[in-house]
Amino acid sequence: MSGNSFGQAFRITTAGESHGPGNVVIIDGCPPGVALDAEMLSIDLNRRRPGQSKIVTQRQEADEPEILSGVFEGKTTGTSIAILIRNTDARSRDYSKIMDTYRPGHADYTYDRKYGFRDYRGGGRSSARETTARVAAGVVAKQLLASRLGVRIVGYVKQVGDVVARVDDPAAVTLEQVETLPSGEPNIVRCPDHAQVDAMITLIEAVRKDQDSIGGVAELVAIGVPPGLGEPVFDKLKADLAKALFSLPAVLGVEYGSGFACAGMRGSEHNDPFELDPAAPFVPGALPTVRTTKNHHGGMLGGISSGMPIVLRAAIKPTSSLPRPQPTVTRAGEATTVRTTGRHDPCLLPRFIPMGEAMLALVLADHYLRQRAQSGSAG
């Protein structure tokens, strides 16, 4: 099975299945001296962890990271970093009755057609459980970007079903807004528009009661990315970000900047005028530091970062595992119905956020190191 590695200069390789002993990531290319410890990893792993609230799957996993190599006295050594997250609450018996039944919306059939054999327990390698390794690697990438470039990455829930958050300035959203309500209580749906939080939670609880699920949209933002990251033409920053997000389970659409809304706009409306950045006075003989008065381009022009905030959105499908009967067929070609028992998210959005942030960070870290290798500097 190929396709388990991602990135060039900052490269990760993952292994593991939903009901196996655990998931592991090996990170190559991280420079030495980046602050890192298990506590830092746990912050984002806890944001992704199942069982964290009443609106997610109730599978109970501690998701405690074990750093096996590449870190000494709280700093990266420059050698390969290995991180293991063990599985401790898998219930394979929940899948024994449907081991030969193709679940609608899942990869059961396509894995059978590709390999002729599959791990039916929780989806095996196709399960989102694999993303624990990516989230851990994303923390390393975030630490690198923050320490070397001052980059800040934040993701949040923009939409659940027909409930849409109002976020006028994505670059102004803080992690505190996403994670905590004004009352101090956890923001379990991770929406920064606190006026819409209750409506989102009510909708998620309603579809769960109806033995159904609901989709939505996640918005991901990177602030402080310097201009110049991205490699024309096939490794454009936007192309690598799209691949990164589409590689995550349940992502059915990706857009950046104005996205599909540009189809109804005129060029005079869509173009973002340039102006000198008042925070960086012009130096004669040097290239000016500019910014745009709008950000329809989502922080990327020609597939290269412009210095404006990078703003992406991912459309997340409703959870495919449903406790209600659905028509399907078996491996033997017999018509039947299937009910997926066990513990599943009625909405994937709240736990998707750290996954999306991780993939954004991994791409930016990779392109930062590639730019540094090519030109000797970045930013």
Contact 293, 278 (CB under 8 A): no
Confidence of residue 90 (pLDDT cuts 50, 70, 90): low
pLDDT at residue 332, as a whole number: 92
Q: 349-361: per-residue pLDDT in tens?
A: 999 999 999 999 9
Confidence of residue 342 (pLDDT cuts 50, 70, 90): low
pLDDT at residue 219, as a whole number: 98
Q: Which of 89-93, 197-201, 279-283, 307-311 has the lowest mean pLDDT?
A: 89-93
pLDDT at residue 379, as a whole number: 62
Percent of the chain residues past pLDDT 90, beyond the cut: 75
Q: 134-156: per-residue pLDDT in tens?
A: 999 999 999 999 999 999 999 99
Fold of 5-257+297-375: Chorismate synthase, AroC fold (3.60.150)
pLDDT at residue 11, as a whole number: 98
The residue-averaged pLDDT of 34-52 equals 90
86 CB-side CA count, 13 A = 7
pLDDT at 96 over 80: no
pLDDT at 1 over 70: no
Q: 161-203: per-residue pLDDT in tens?
A: 999 999 999 999 999 999 999 999 999 999 999 999 999 999 9
How many CB atoms within 10 Å of residue 281?
9
pLDDT at 132 over 70: yes
